[in-house]
Amino acid sequence: MKAVVFPGQGAQFVGMGKDLYENHALAKELFEKANDILGYRITDIMFSGTDEELKQTKVTQPAVFLHSVIKALCTPELQPEMVGGHSLGEFSALVAAGALSFEDGLKLVYARAMAMQKACEVKPSTMAAIIGLPDEKVEEVCQEVSGENGIVVPANYNCPGQLVISGDIEAVNAACEKLKEAGAKRALVLKVGGAFHSPLMQPAKDELEEAIKNTEFKAPKCPVYQNVDGKAHTDAADIKQNLIAQLTSPVRWTVEVSSMVADGATDFTECGPGKALQGMIVKICKGNEAVTISGIE
């Protein structure tokens, strides 16, 4: 079975989508429609802006979404039998599966980006990638550290041996030190604007919840695997609730990919900028020779 997966924030690069815009009439039409919806020319930033401009959450999220979704819509042979997305990528997956329209997907992603940026400005916070430790050890240290220094929680279960933590700056730094002492190969504070997928995103969740509730969702044409539980969903109401919970819940990507394989996925295709998900899936499916992993050029 064919699984198509979509990346999240962090996959962006200057020049992304320019080839699509110049070589596909449908892509050009959709990019221009996005410029109209957003009220500014995001294509100018995507195609020829600076890294700093593109790194702003309010720009990055719609940019990655647009690149991913437009690439999927311009690749008719893709025909997924199941879809999933990492964090922001879940919105791209929902559009690819027909649960959300292109226009509504973009509006929600922009609302999400603005709400998250606002939450980041109110409460300075960060994330860090922990490499080379079992998930259980990272969870244990996060529990130990949370308290006087603020909170720190597991945020992205990316693949075996790679877990991203999220929370207050002091708490994340303290956790990194303890995790290095515990044998982590790396404990790298990330250049992100805030503590995504942690309780610190509650104000953003409250704001986005209203927008999601007021948006029409349809039953998807194929199962959508969601971050909050890593399981397949086809009921529009369930998908909405899981999407609302996503901002303050961890991304269970390892479970999600494993569920897809258990349900018959043999061909994973990453659709969007970068190759980060391919690398994670290789590690999750290590030893499973039946699984093939690729991207779309």
- pLDDT for 296 equals 87
In the predicted structure, residue 297 carries a pLDDT above the cut 80: no
Q: Does domain 2-121+199-295 have CATH number 3.40.50.261?
A: no
68 is catalytic: no
- pTM reported for the whole predicted model: 0.96
CA distances from 210 to 141, 194, 213, 287 (A): 35, 22, 5, 43
Which of 67, 86, 92, 197 is catalytic? The answer is 197
Q: Which of 67, 68, 86, 87 is catalytic?
A: 87
244-264 residue pLDDT tens: 999 999 999 999 999 999 999
* 125 carries an active-site annotation: no
Q: Residues 86, 227: contact at Cβ < 8 Å? A: yes
Q: How much is the pLDDT for 192?
A: 79
Domain ranges of the chain: 2-121+199-295, 124-189
Query: Does the pLDDT at position 2 exceed 90?
Result: yes
**Lowest mean pLDDT across 7-11, 130-134, 251-255, 267-271:** 7-11
Cβ atoms 31, 73 nearer than 8 A: no
Task: Classify 124-189 by CATH class.
Answer: alpha beta
Summarize the confidence of residues 54-70 as an average pLDDT. Answer: 93
- Tens-digit pLDDT profile for residues 69-95: 999 999 999 999 999 999 999 999 999
